[in-house]
Homo-oligomer: A and B are copies of this chain.
Amino acid sequence: MNNVRFATSLHILTLLTYMKDELLSSEFIAGSININPAVVRKEISNLRNNGLIESKEGKGGGSRLAKPASEIRIADIYKAVKPASVLGKSNTPNPACPIGKDINQHIDNLYQDTENFLLKKLENMTLEKFTKKFS
């Protein structure tokens, strides 16, 4: 993963956890992360599609957590933003080569195993626990 989306989503969710009684606007959130409000809205849209956030349109609108921070796992955030396997993508090797012919199957297995292993770890970490680290 060579992007900033996990950090952005975690930042958004941390803010929502900290101010859980208010609806936060994309502009407010963007000001904290220091990025463009439209990017925040797109990321919120994704988190909403993943059931982590709910939003209210119109004046006075904004977003809040869709469920308690204790029920949002870091794995949920990771799954919502990851563009590829932890270990990356595959080539399209030469099928005429005995190694090339089969390697993608073995690589896929390795990727899957690694992914599952990582998810097990991230499933034991919650947003609540993360936000508690802030004094």
Contact = CB atoms under 8 A, between A and B. Distances in A.
B3 A91 contact: no
Interface string A1-44: 11111111011001100100000000000011111000000000
B93 A1 contact: no
B118 A86 contact: yes
What's the interface size class on A, roughly?
35 or more
Please tell me how many copies of the chain the complex holds.
2
A89 to B, nearest CB: 5
Interface in A55-105: 74, 78, 83-94, 97-100, 102-103
Given A11-B91, A110-B125, 13 more contacts: A1-B86, A2-B84, A7-B89, A11-B100, A11-B103, A14-B103, A15-B99, A32-B97, A33-B94, A34-B92, A114-B118, A117-B121, A118-B118
